Structure 1
Amino acid sequence: MLAQINKNGSKYSVTYERHLTHPVANVWAMFTDNSKLQQWFDELHVEDLRQGGTILFDMGDGTYEEMKITELDHQAVLEFDWDKDRVRFHFMEEDNGCELTLIETINELTEHTPKDLAGWHVCLDVIEALLDGTDYGPREKSWKKWYEKYKEALE
């Protein structure tokens, strides 16, 4: 299911919602335990897990972009800067698992925006597969499909 895209004044809000049949603690660990984080987003590394702390993004050229953690509530909220934008993950315990919500606040749409949106979509699918113990398989074909859909949605 495509993320919900809303325009709020001059900004955009993109919301992904996923129900995962796993406890919040397990889902939270996918974002905060570097060994688990590397399985679905190997460019990210939690450097200092606290509000005001940092997450590093490996630029692939020997440099790292520092992203500030703007909000942290253990097993409930993880929010951090994403270049000029912001991403917020909300984890809510449910009877049979966890409701995971990702909200990206985008200040300006660019030609790269649908690529990012497709990337987050696939990342969430990969997280679910990892938690379920299944193999997601190659990401490229799925990413291309979602990229086209997000590109169309933003036009």
Structure 2
Amino acid sequence: MDNGTINLTYDGRVSLNFRLAVPQSPDKVWKVITQREFLDTWFPADVDFTLTPGADLLFKVTPQQVKRYGLPADHSSHGTVISVHPHHIFEYLWDADTLHWELHPDGTGGCWLTLTHTMEDEDSAYAHAAGWHAGLEVVAAQLDGREVDWSPWDRADELASQYRKSA
């Protein structure tokens, strides 16, 4: 998988972008990025997505976040679903950040999966990059039917050096 890219947006925010070619259809990929049974393996929070624009979202910490980062077990953050076009676009707010997932058929039965995570500052983009990269590696494994016998948290630690800001 290629590394994500970090760019400034027109409004002074920062976007972290990943684009992944997958041999599966948008219908199959949609399930992996929206359904709890898949999210529990790779998504960096405990959340149940309501696929309705305007729906409130509650992001709770995972046991791994409590263990690794010392977050309080009752910590949570909030969001709102912005846009849902099944099997194509899913966009939502997570606190002040915007996450935009997009699926485009590639003409061969597979699709392009694009994640754009837009946030306020560049340091946050670098902090999130390795985690999303590791999570998307799990998504690819799930789609391929491969067993995920590694920790995405450990994998993010391994990838962190690839996403350090140059001085």
The answer on whether the counterparts of 2:93 and 2:99 sit within 8 Å (CA) in structure 1 is: yes
Give the drift of 1:120. 0.6
TM-score of the pair, normalised by structure 1? 0.86
The answer on whether the counterparts of 1:17 and 1:99 sit within 8 Å (CA) in structure 2 is: yes
Letter in 1 for 2:147: D
- 5+ residue gaps, structure 1: none
Q: 2:4, 2:91 → 1: CA distance?
A: 18
User: Does residue 79 of structure 1 match 2:80?
Assistant: no
Q: In angstroms, what is the RMSD of aligned CA positions?
A: 2.0
The answer on whether the counterparts of 1:46 and 1:54 sit within 8 Å (CA) in structure 2 is: no
Distance 1:42 1:8, change over 3 A: closer
| Percentage identity across paired residues of the two chains | 22
The answer on whether the counterparts of 2:13 and 2:120 sit within 8 Å (CA) in structure 1 is: yes
Partner of 1:96: 109
For each residue in 1:98-123, what CA deviation from the matched residue of structure 2 results, as whole angstroms up to 9, or x when unmatched? Answer: 1100011121233x542311111111
Distance 1:47 1:18, change over 3 A: closer
Letter in 2 for 1:35: E
TM-score of the pair, normalised by structure 2? 0.81
User: Does residue 151 of structure 1 match 2:151?
Assistant: no
Partner of 1:43: 45
How many residue pairs match? The answer is 153
Give the drift of 1:14. 1.6
Give the drift of 1:149. 1.4
- 5+ residue gaps, structure 2: 63-72
Q: 1:141, 1:37 → 2: CA distance?
A: 17
Partner of 2:31: 29
User: Does residue 123 of structure 1 match 2:135?
Assistant: yes
Letter in 2 for 1:119: G
User: Does residue 6 of structure 1 match 2:7?
Assistant: yes
The answer on whether the counterparts of 1:25 and 1:75 sit within 8 Å (CA) in structure 2 is: yes
Q: 2:44, 2:136 → 1: CA distance?
A: 14
